[in-house]
Amino acid sequence: MRIAIIDTSSTRAAIISDGLRESGLHDLVVIDAGQPMLRQLEQAKADVVLINLENPSRDILEDFFAMSRALARPIAMFVDQSDTESMGAAIDAGVSAYVVDGLSKQRIRPVVDVAVRRFQAFSRLQTELAEARTALADRQSIDRAKAILMKRRGLDEPAAYALLRGHAMRTNRRIVEIAESIVTSDALMGEMP
């Protein structure tokens, strides 16, 4: 697992690096906080991003949150001071672990592990949600196509579905593709004078 470390203090970055190495993680990249970070992170091809901020201002936090949205990787953030609003904004931005006043060598590895697990769990949920939305949209297209076939051909629902299914099998296409074609065709026919 390659870990990118972002810290404005080289001393704190060294503490983080030491803690990770002592826990068996050796593929580390320290990102120069004075240079464009997103480009450095993309070049580093890090699996996890670990950010440590002493006293982050609202502007610095906004920059990091924008970056975390673009990365789509587990991010663990350590801050010395925080408030409820900053913590909420960090979590909304996709930070997987947000630790206040807790930077110590022995805690770094467990926090990274938690960040990775939470990111994976969240990614699975997002994938499942996208699949459910697609399935619902497909179902709606199929239902609209069945309704069109039932109205135009005087079929009942099972016969309309059988017609869709049969055409899909004969043409080696998905039922939803056939359904979307019927819905589009019907919309075009309805627009003609």
CATH code of the domain in which 44 resides: 3.40.50.2300
Do 49 and 68 lie in a common domain? yes
Q: Are residues 171 and 98 in the same domain?
A: no
pLDDT tens readout for residues 160-175: 999 999 999 999 999 9
User: Taking the model in full, what pTM does it have?
Assistant: 0.66
Q: State the Cα angle at 167 between 156 and 151, rounded to 5°.
A: 30
SS3 state of residue 18: helix
Mean pLDDT in residue range 40-49: 85
Residues 112-138: b if buried by 16+ CB within 10 A, e if exposed: bbebbebbeeeeeeeeeeeeeeeeeeb
- Domain termination site, one of 128, 143, 170: 128
What is the C-alpha to C-alpha distance for residues 189 and 187, in angstroms, rounded to an integer?
Answer: 5
Q: Are residues 134 and 113 in the same domain?
A: no
- Domain total of the chain: 2
Strand ranges (E), the chain = 3-7, 28-31, 48-53, 75-79, 97-100
Of these ranges, 34-48, 102-116, 149-163, the one predicted with the greatest mean pLDDT is 149-163
pLDDT band at 59 (very low <50, low <70, confident <90, very high): low
Domain housing 168: 130-191
Give the Cα separation of 71 and 101 in Å (integer).
25
Residues 161 and 101 in one domain: no
Domain end marker among 82, 110, 128 = 128
Question: Do residue 110 and residue 24 come from a single domain?
Answer: yes
The percentage of residues in the chain with a pLDDT greater than 70, rounded to a whole number, is: 91
